[in-house]
Amino acid sequence: MATLGAAVLGRLGQAAGRHSGLLRAVTRGLSTTRVPHAALPSSVRIVEVGARDGLQNEKQLVPTVVKLELIERLRLAGLKTIEATSFVSPKWVPQMSDHVEVLTGVHRPSGAEGEGLFYPVLTPNIKGYEAAAANGADEVAIFSAASEAFVKRNINCSIAESLERFEVVCEAAKRDNIRVRGYVSCVVECPYDGPTDPATVAWVSERLLEMGCYEISLGDTIGAGTPGSFSVMLEAVLKVIPPELVAVHCHDTYGQALANIYASLEMGVSVVDASVAGLGGCPFAAGATGNVATEDVLYMLHGLGIETGVDLDMVVDAGGFISHELGRPNSSRAANGILAKRARLGIALKAEA
């Protein structure tokens, strides 16, 4: 796997310098005027979930080398938290059966380049955690939900039982000095139970924090939330957890993801989960479409003058790469707009020449 990772690095090392001034000019002209009435954060950290949450629902098996190239492209774009894979049974999620190869194949640069870089992996139980830790994991993610029916269908236990399972994982991670991130699914609505009680979301989030999670990601798993319902949920959570320990994870089923993210920014949240090219869905949530596209989130944030440390053009290229490998169009509207603008500029320059 080290040879495979080296091959990916060699190819991408050459590609990293190909962004000409012309391509960067496509996005450099974005307005960075801050909305005067909104108390928005000055910077936002993007947690890229495309390689794990984005690909897990794909029916066609994606080659390991393709996953590694996607992850490396995202790293070169400036993303510092990139979900790599999931240590789950191949029986349940066949797409993640190469989790060892992916985790051991990702590039971990030394020195300043590697500072603050993490490759979280999903671990549903202590067995998954132990396998991840044995293969060099620096961060793991655990997940519960605010819906009993969803937890039962997802990991075959109750909410309370899921939290008991994860206590063991958190204790082991603390011993091993490995960071733990907590996910709460169905924070607005569940495909089986209907609307979710915000008080339940707050309770589950608080329990995960008490167990040792450094951050809680609130997932609108089926994308049913609106700025109204999402804000009500967040208000309940922020009564028990400070906003700097909260992230939002929005699916775009009803086209509300960016609006919900903006509402979250206004409430003090400054960590956003997103998936390159809008990849994703959920194998246990019927009707759930892709995650909000990383390109769309970056376009909005940069337009608001919010720092991310991420090169939007390079993320657009990463989205184009994986969309081509999957044989389907990129789901990001911003990416498609930027690519169309690139094409127009290219045609104009060719005509002038």
Q: Is 186 a catalytic residue?
A: no
Class of residue 128 by CB neighbours under 10 A (exposed 0-12, middle 13-18, buried 19+): buried
| Residue 209, helix vs strand vs coil | helix
Identify which of 303, 331, 246 has the alpha carbon closest to the alpha carbon of residue 50. Answer: 331
Strand-strand pairing, 271-274 and 215-220:
unpaired
Q: Which DSSP symbol is given to 143?
A: E
Query: What's the distance, CA 20 to chain centroid?
Result: 28
- Which structure tokens are listed for 205? 């989030």
Query: What's the distance, CA 44 to chain centroid?
Result: 13
Residue ranges of alpha helices (H) inside 212-292 are 227-237, 257-266
Per DSSP, what are the bridge partners of residue 195?
189
Q: Kindly name the residue from 186, 213, 250, 282 that is annotated as catalytic.
A: 282
Q: Which DSSP symbol is given to 52?
A: I
Residues in contact with 17: Cβ distance below 8 Å, sequence separation at least 6, in sequence order:
none
- Annotated active-site positions, please? 282
